[in-house]
Chains A and B, each alone.
Chain A
Amino acid sequence: MPMKKNWLRDYIIKRLFFALIVALGILTVTFILVRIGPTSPADKYLANIAARGQDVSQAVAAIEARYGLDKPLYEQYINYVANLGRGDWGWSFSTSMPVIELIKTHWIYSFQLIFLSSILGALVGILIGILSAVRQYSKTDYIATFFSFIGISIPNFWLGVMLILLFSVKLGLFKTYYDSGIPIFSLDNLRQLTLPVITITTGMLAGYTRYTRSAMLDNLRKEFVRTARAKGLPERTVIGKHVFRNAVLPLITIIMFDLGSIVFAGAYFTEIVFGIPGLGRISFNAIFADDYAVVVTVTLISAFLILMINLITDITYTYLDPRIRYD
């Protein structure tokens, strides 16, 4: 047993080291992409300054100082990484404030949306999945499978638009636009988040239902389940304690990894459709304003968040399930 601890520590160190390399990779790729782009961020910035009739020569000097465009490329790169590390994420000219301030005021709107939908999606998805697996090939199972196909196939942004059309425009049950004046921790806010949360959850739900179903089915056929039943345990205990506990670990991994792809992209669209002023929405606005710094930062933040989530998931998973050993 004392072997285990050392092994785990080595694994964590190795994993952290790899995460560092990936982080550098992400920074390098974004740096290169922005560099080889047809118009440099400085040009767009200057064009914007000129369009507003402000003093261009002063802006030129400011940009030279900030990006160090006259310096060699490797120095620019080090500068770029160092600035990001210091929390200096650039200036958003379309909103006239530092990008970090913009992120600070808006992240909470994305967070509430992702938080609520993830919890709801995971809970309901797992429940339906369990039901579907326990009653395999029953009517419940077929209906659940059919709806999960629909849930996976329905375009997130279209579902949002359709929900607005039905519940807001035709039935008038909800407002058509998100009101950011309402305090976040209030019932009114929860009410206006109903449609957005349903929009994101639908896509997630479908995936979780199917994963849970197959993970449960894998374990239902195992011998320890037969033993548990043979020794006379009630079915509730067999399913809840013996089958589900074994199925839940891979599920957690899938749910965490999903956060990166499905949930982040889902939140991006949902914020745009419902006008929720989260990170997706500010990135969307920045695209139209040609506000480089904001678009770059939002992409970087999402990539780093996903990197961190993956890292934590991997380490927790290895810790919880000693059967898994990466070489």
Chain B
Amino acid sequence: MTNWLASINYITGKVGGIRKLILILMAALLGVTILLDVLVVEKIFDPLGYLYIALGTLAVLYGIYPLYTSRRLVGYYWERASQNRLAVAGLAFILFLILLALIGPFFTTDPTATNFEEKNIPPLGFTIEESVYHPETQQSISKTITGSGKHPLGTDNKGRDLLAMIVSGARISLQVGLLATGIAVALGTLIGVTSAYLGGKIDNILMRFTDIMMTFPFFLLLVFIVFIFGPNLAFIVLVIGLTGWTGTARLVRSETLSLRTREFIMAAKALGASDSRIILAHLVPNVISLIIVIATLSIPGVILAEAGLSFIGLGDPSVTSWGMVLRAGQQNLDTAWWVAVAPGVMLFLTVLAFNFMGDGLRDAFDPRSAV
């Protein structure tokens, strides 16, 4: 009985803390869902669901709970970050995007529903001339099509509603961005901290392995793996996460190197703390601000990677993502320009928003920029 409690204490740090409760609750939730999935025929969660629970636990343990217990510090950082107007604008856009992804699908139609009666309708406020060929008279008649409120962003060449496709794409992009970054950052942090703390041979092996991983051109490796194993959203998330940790590992390692000789680590060691406890309960919490910045600045790359895969036709065919819409738009540039414009604008704004926010956070966390 005391044995498994002790092992949880290693991870959570505080004996009898709320963290332990959170970890136990999340583990129980994961256990129950897996049990239900195995016993009940109908699946509750796809693989992404499990990822959400696992990464959510990490986020609560190392992000939300510490933030909650140190509200004064958070207030201080918020004050500093909020002075950067671009960062605040970025945050506002990201919140809007999350809202769009969460409740948007309830207000839009099915993004995959085709309707050839209503194809190539321009966005609201635009009018185009389209020549329609009549087989009986063998003549082309110029027809005017005006955008209407029914399809505010217009439709594509199969009559699919562009707004619905954009909303669906926001969902995919955010999911991929958050989950894959979560995996990559968690893995990179673990490898970086372990490597720096243990040093010696293990450091050498881990860092040489990181070097080998970094030699692969990230996107081409992604294309290669997805090509071999086939496109599936959960798999793409996993692959981006498992290949994208190298940068994090290096940055976290160099940050940890300066931490590991500090007094509080010495004190923990002197008190008999084990290596895993020092890593998980003392070192990781102290590189959290760096990790938050890295994560924010990694999300754009991940979102673009997924969009790029979809754009070249290696996206999950069962979901509608921005890259896929853009690809369809590119093939019909001369008849329906808006189909290529809309997903690209969203992609651009999303990436810009995360970049602005990451930059603002980095400045806010940087003690050198304090006045």
**B351, CB-defined interface residue at 8 Å:** yes
Residues of B within 8 A of A302 (CB): 217, 220
**What's the nearest-Cβ distance from chain B to residue A144, in Å?**
15
Q: How far is the CA of A21 from the CA of B229 in the complex (A)?
A: 26
Closest chain A residue to B228 by CB distance? A37
Main secondary structure of the interface of B (DSSP, over half): helix
In the complex, A288→B340 CA distance in Å?
A: 22
Using known A-B contacts A165-B337, A283-B223, A303-B217, determine if residue A38 contacts B330 with beta carbons closer than 8 Å. Answer: no
B-contacting residues, A299-323, CB 8 Å: 299, 302-303, 306-307, 310
CB of A170, distance to nearest CB on chain B (Å): 8
Identify which of residues 215-249 in chain B touch chain A, using a CB-to-CB cut-off of 8 Å.
Answer: 215-221, 223-225, 227-230
Kindly list chain B residues whose C-beta atoms are within 8 Å of the C-beta of A150: 352
Query: Is there contact, CB below 8 Å, between A153 and B355?
Result: yes
- Across the interface, do A153 and B348 meet the contact criterion of CB distance under 8 Å? yes
- Tally inter-chain residue pairs, CB-CB below 8 A: 123
A287 an interface residue at 8 Å Cβ cutoff? yes
Contact of A161 among B329, B351, B356 (CB under 8 A): B329
Most buried by A among B218, B228, B313, B355: B228
Contacting pair A158 B348 (CB below 8 A):
yes
Contacting residues, chain B, for A164 (C-beta < 8 A):
333
Cβ-defined contact, A153 with B220, below 8 A: no
Closest to B356 in A: A149
Q: Are A310 and B333 in contact (CB under 8 A)?
A: no
Q: Which of A149, A158, A165, A260 contacts B355 (CB 8 A)?
A: A149
Q: Assess whether A38 is in contact with B229, with CB atoms less than 8 Å apart.
A: yes
Q: A155–B307 contact, CB under 8 A?
A: yes
Of residues 225 through 280 on chain A, the ones whose CB sits less than 8 Å from some CB of chain B are 260-261, 264-265, 268-269, 272-273
**In the complex, B208 has a CB within 8 A of chain A:** yes
Closest 7 CB pairs of A and B: A158-B344, A37-B228, A153-B352, A265-B219, A153-B351, A25-B212, A299-B224
A59 to chain B, nearest CB (A): 21
A296 to B224, CA, bound (A): 7
A56 and B22 alpha carbons, distance in the complex (Å): 60
One of B211, B223, B313, B333 near A299 (C-beta < 8 A) = B223
**In the assembled complex, which residues on chain B have CB atoms less than 8 Å from the CB atom of A284?**
312
Inter-chain contacts of B217 with A (CB < 8 A)? 260-261, 264-265, 299, 302-303, 306
The answer to whether A155 and B348 have CB atoms under 8 Å apart is yes
**Are A287 and B215 in contact (CB-based, < 8 A)?**
no
Q: How far is the CA of A162 from the CA of B348 in the complex (A)?
A: 12
